[in-house]
Every structure is written in C-alpha cells, then in structure tokens.
C-alpha cells in the first residue's frame, strides 16, 4: 500500500476539482443555450410547441438525473459511438439543466405583468420585439437569482458523472478511499470541497435575489 | 402537425421504429416482478424518508427560530452543509465513513438515514420560510391564551405554516423520490439497481434504462397527485374557513 499523506489527498482532490468545474461549466452554459429555445417554445402561441416543451420539461424533471446519465451513456453507445464518459455526462447534464432553466425562465417571464405585453403591442412592436425590448429586460430581474441558485444544483449534479466512470471530484474521492482505506476522512474532505465550490454561489444567489426584490 | 397529415412513408417509418422498440421491450416482460420489487423498495424508502425528514425539518425550523444562539447556528450549519454538498457524497460518508467511528449499518439503513437527513436540511429551510409568513398576531394569540413558546409553535403556528409551503415541500418530496435512485450505488436493491441488474442479463442497456425512466416518471406523477390529495386532507380546516 502506498502511504497517502493529507497533502496527497488534498492535491489529488484539487486536481480532480478542475474536472468538476469543467463539467459544471459545460452543463450550465450548454443548458442555458438549449434552455432558451425550450423556454420560447414553452410560452409560444402555438399549442403544439407548448405541449412538446412541456413534455420535455416533465421528462427531465420527472426522472432521476442518474437515470438520464445512464440513458445518455447507453443511448450514445447504441448509435455506435465509443462513448467517453465526459461526453455522456455533459449531454445528460446539459439537457437536464436546460429543462430546469426553461422552467425558471418561464416563471420569470410570466411574472411580468400582462399590461407590459399589451403596452408593447400597442406600440406596434412585433412579438419578437415585445419580448426582446420590453419583457425580457424585466424578466431578467426576476430570473437571475434563481438561475444563479440553480448553478449549485448543476455542480452537485456533476457528482453523478462519477458513476459512469468520469474522474471528477467524487470519483477521485472514491479512488483515494480505495487506496487509503480512510473513507471517513476522504469523504469528509470531499464534502468540504463541494461546500467550498457551492456555498459562495448560494450566497451570491441569495444576495442577488434580495437586491432584485428591493428594486 | 396532426398524425393523419403525415405522409404515408413517414407514418410507416414511425411504425417500423415502434416495432423495433417493441421487440427489444419484449425481453423485459420476464422481469416484471423484479421491476415491481425495485419500485416497491424505492417507494418505501421515499415514504419513510419523508416522514423522518419532515420531523427533522420541523425541529430544524424550530431550531432556526430558537432563542438559544447555539441552536440557531447549529441548525443553520446543518441546512447549509446539506444544501451545498451532493447527496451521493452524503450517502458515501454515512455508509462508508461512519463505520470507522463504530457506527455499523446495513445499506438500506444507510440509505434511509442519508435520505432523511438530506430531506431534513431542505425541509428546514422551506418550513422556516413558512414560519416567516405567519404574522406576529398568531404568536401573540397563542401567548395570550397562556401557551408557552413551544406550545404556541406546535398548536397554533405549525399547521398554517406548513400549509403555506406545502407546494414547495411536495416538490422537495419528488426530488427525494428521484434522488433515491443514487442509493443503488451502495447496493440497495431499488428500482435503479434492478434496472442495472436486468440489463446485465439481457444486454439491452438502453431499453431497460428507458423502462426504468418510464416507471420513475409514473411514480413521480402519481406521487404529485397523492401529495395534492394529502395536502387537501391535512389542511381541510383551512379550506372550510375560506
């Protein structure tokens, strides 16, 4: 057995934390990108688009993230790819994030009073212009806090990528446990690492929400 | 576009694809009993975790509003620690880490404990918000009847506070139901575990997982309806008062 000092454990966790951050960024940015058209479909004037977006959101909010990751992993393999775990995890987390962000953003847009739409329409703006210049700037105030808050869920969600073998924080922690037989200390440290990543974001989200509520 | 307007070629292609899926799904019918058992364990774990988690949440919320500062800090730290770490790490810490301290438990016990503690943290925060939404007058009404602080909390404040946040609580319950899939990783034979077991036999990984996802979706939708009914029952007095 190799001797593992506390520093060895910390160093390995630090190195692995990079991958947690990379995966979180991919998922969050990808999720935002996919989430925008889903939001627009969800509040579209066309019934079919609304229903499809609704079903999309219901699926990703109504099934476990772990199962979604498995589906991406096995589904990509079915298409004949030799799937790297990062790709499967990134795909699943992106779609998962997009569904939740779409729901948050729909709520934010619907929180804008109806009179704003009517006012914009009375200025002969097109629906796109109403959205772009009148509704979205106001919805942004409502939506930005919960959006920042959801980034914490994304970071925590990336821990499940360990199950399909992607070496991020949690997987690294498990590997270190297998070498050191010290699960108490390693999983405790692992929790602290996640806390260090998530807590500042939680605080920021809370501060943003408070600030937006005051205006 | 309505189905009848889809061209014949496309329609038959759709049907073809459904056939392929059917063929694959027929491999799964032998395992109906296993799926049922897995789903039952998932539901049982969730139900018990909700009961224990709510108890923790009510105590935690009371702690957040305690007059003793250390109690407030402790329950605050509990909430932040739970909400800012992944459930899988909490589960691993409890199942693999605690035995180092001499606390031995089976995987099902560890899963129950982890789910309860996790829900307890979120429930504390949600119920605290409910308490904040109850006006000072209710507290004063309790005191003027000669009730103690704890009695007022339990008999006057708690139920209306829970009613205010019931929708948020139920969505947290659904998150616990879905999050419980992670306990398959410590070999608790829940629905997700059963899915992994079956696919190791029939080599139909994607189809099996799709079925598992479908069952979870049904459970989640069913649970949502159930919680709505329970809420109506639990807060029936308020409906009458309205």
B234 Cβ partners below 8 Å, 6+ apart? B159, B162, B163, B166
Spatial separation of the C-alpha atoms in residues B223 and B228, rounded to whole Å: 9
What backbone phi and psi angles, to 5 degrees, belong to B134? -90, 130
Instruction: Verify whether the Cβ–Cβ distance A194 to B89 is below 8 Å.
Output: yes
In chain B, positions 17-56, which contact chain A (CB-CB < 8 Å)? none
pLDDT tens digits for B5-23? 555 455 445 554 555 555 4
**Superfamily name with CATH number, domain A12-214:** MetI-like (1.10.3720.10)
* Predicted structure pTM score: 0.89
Residue B238 — pLDDT band, cuts 50, 70, 90?
low
Q: Does B15 or B205 have the greater pLDDT score?
A: B205
Chains A and B form CB pairs within 8 A to the count of 121
Q: String of b and e for B62-96 (b: at least 16 CB within 10 Å)? A: bbbbeeeeeeeeebbebbbbbbbbbbbbbbbbbbb
Six-digit token string for B2: 């309505």
Whether A56 contacts A39, CB under 8 Å: no
The range of the structural domain enclosing residue B134 comes to 32-241
Instruction: Verify whether the Cβ–Cβ distance B86 to A70 is below 8 Å.
Output: no
A45 Cβ partners below 8 Å, 6+ apart? A127
CATH code at B141?
Answer: 1.10.3720.10
Please check the confidence at residue B240 and state whether its pLDDT lies above 80. no
Residue of A nearest to B185 (CA): A163
Query: Does residue B19 belong to any structural domain of this protein?
Result: no
Instruction: Verify whether the Cβ–Cβ distance A67 to B209 is below 8 Å.
Output: yes
Instruction: Verify whether the Cβ–Cβ distance B84 to A160 is below 8 Å.
Output: no
Q: String of b and e for B23-43 (b: at least 16 CB within 10 Å)? A: ebeebbeebeebbeebbebbb
Contacts of A191 in chain B (CB under 8 A): 81, 85, 89-90, 93
Residue of A nearest to B98 (CA): A184
pLDDT tens digits for B55-102? 999 999 999 988 999 999 999 999 999 999 999 999 999 999 999 888
Torsion angle (degrees, nearest 10) of CA A174, A178, A184, A190: -30
To test the contact with chain B by mutation, choose from A48, A65, A66, A170 the residue with the greatest count of B C-beta atoms within 10 A, namely A66
Is B102 exposed, middle or buried (CB count within 10 Å of its CB: 0-12, 13-18, 19+)?
A: exposed
Query: Does residue B60 belong to any structural domain of this protein?
Result: yes
A197 Cβ partners below 8 Å, 6+ apart? A17, A20, A21, A155
Q: Which whole number is the average pLDDT over B29-46?
A: 90
Instruction: Verify whether the Cβ–Cβ distance B206 to A159 is below 8 Å.
Output: no
What is the reported pLDDT for B176?
98
Query: Does residue B4 belong to any structural domain of this protein?
Result: no
What is the reported pLDDT for B182?
98
Nearest to B213 by CA among A164, A79, A71: A71
B15 in reach of chain A (CB within 8 A):
no
Query: Does residue B26 belong to any structural domain of this protein?
Result: no
Q: Does A60 or B4 have the greater pLDDT score?
A: A60
What is the reported pLDDT for A3?
74
What is the reported pLDDT for B16?
47
Domain count, chain B: 1
Domain ranges of chain A: 12-214
To test the contact with chain A by mutation, choose from B92, B95, B216, B223 the residue with the greatest count of A C-beta atoms within 10 A, namely B92
Query: Does residue B114 belong to any structural domain of this protein?
Result: yes
A136 Cβ partners below 8 Å, 6+ apart? A109
What is the reported pLDDT for B44?
98
Q: Which residues of chain A have pLDDT under 70?
A: 1-2, 214-215
The shortest CB-CB distance from A195 to any of B1, B84, B97 is to B84
The shortest CB-CB distance from A159 to any of B88, B97, B209 is to B88
Local structure of A179: helix, strand or coil: helix
Please check the confidence at residue B108 and state whether its pLDDT lies above 90. yes
């Amino acid at each position: 057995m190799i001797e593992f000092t506390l520093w060895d454990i910390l160093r390995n966790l630090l190195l692995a934390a990079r991958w947690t951050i990379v995966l979180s960024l991919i998922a969050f940015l990808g999720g935002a990108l996919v989430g925008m058209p889903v939001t627009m479909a969800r509040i579209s004037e066309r019934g079919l688009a609304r229903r499809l977006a609704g079903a999309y959101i219901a699926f990703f909010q109504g099934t476990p993230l772990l199962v979604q990751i498995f589906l991406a992993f096995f589904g990509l393999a079915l298409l004949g790819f030799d799937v790297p775990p990062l790709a499967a995890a990134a795909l699943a987390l992106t779609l998962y994030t997009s569904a939740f962000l779409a729901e948050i953003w729909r709520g934010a847009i619907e929180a804008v009073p109806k009179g704003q739409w009517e006012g914009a329409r009375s200025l002969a703006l097109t629906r796109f212009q109403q959205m772009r210049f009148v509704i979205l700037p106001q919805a942004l105030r409502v939506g930005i806090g919960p959006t920042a808050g959801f980034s914490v869920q994304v970071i925590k969600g990336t821990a499940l990528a360990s199950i399909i073998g992607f070496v991020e924080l949690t997987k690294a922690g498990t590997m270190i446990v297998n070498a050191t037989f010290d699960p108490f200390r390693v999983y405790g440290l692992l929790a602290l690492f996640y806390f260090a990543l998530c807590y500042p974001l939680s605080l920021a989200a809370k501060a943003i929400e408070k600030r937006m509520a005051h205006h | 576009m309505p189905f009848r307007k889809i061209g014949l070629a496309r329609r038959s292609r759709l049907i073809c694809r459904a056939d392929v899926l059917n063929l694959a799904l027929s491999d799964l019918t032998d395992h109906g009993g296993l799926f049922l058992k897995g789903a039952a364990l998932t539901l049982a774990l969730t139900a018990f975790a909700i009961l224990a988690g709510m108890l923790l949440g009510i105590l935690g919320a009371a702690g957040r509003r305690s007059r003793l500062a250390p109690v407030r800090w402790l329950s605050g730290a509990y909430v932040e620690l739970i909400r800012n770490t992944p459930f899988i790490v909490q589960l691993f810490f409890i199942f693999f880490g605690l035995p180092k301290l001499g606390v031995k438990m089976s995987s099902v016990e560890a899963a129950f404990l982890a789910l309860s503690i996790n829900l307890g943290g979120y429930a504390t925060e949600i119920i605290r918000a409910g308490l904040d939404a109850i006006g000072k007058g209710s507290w004063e009404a309790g005191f003027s009847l000669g009730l103690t602080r704890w009695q007022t909390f339990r008999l006057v404040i708690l139920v209306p506070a829970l009613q205010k946040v019931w929708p948020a609580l139920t969505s947290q319950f659904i998150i616990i139901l879905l999050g419980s899939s992670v306990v398959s990783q410590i070999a608790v034979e829940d629905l997700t575990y059963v899915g992994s077991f079956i696919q190791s036999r029939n080599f139909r990984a994607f189809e099996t997982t799709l079925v598992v996802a479908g069952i979870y979706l049904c459970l989640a939708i069913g649970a949502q309806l159930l919680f709505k009914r329970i809420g109506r029952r639990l807060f029936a007095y308020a409906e009458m008062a309205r």
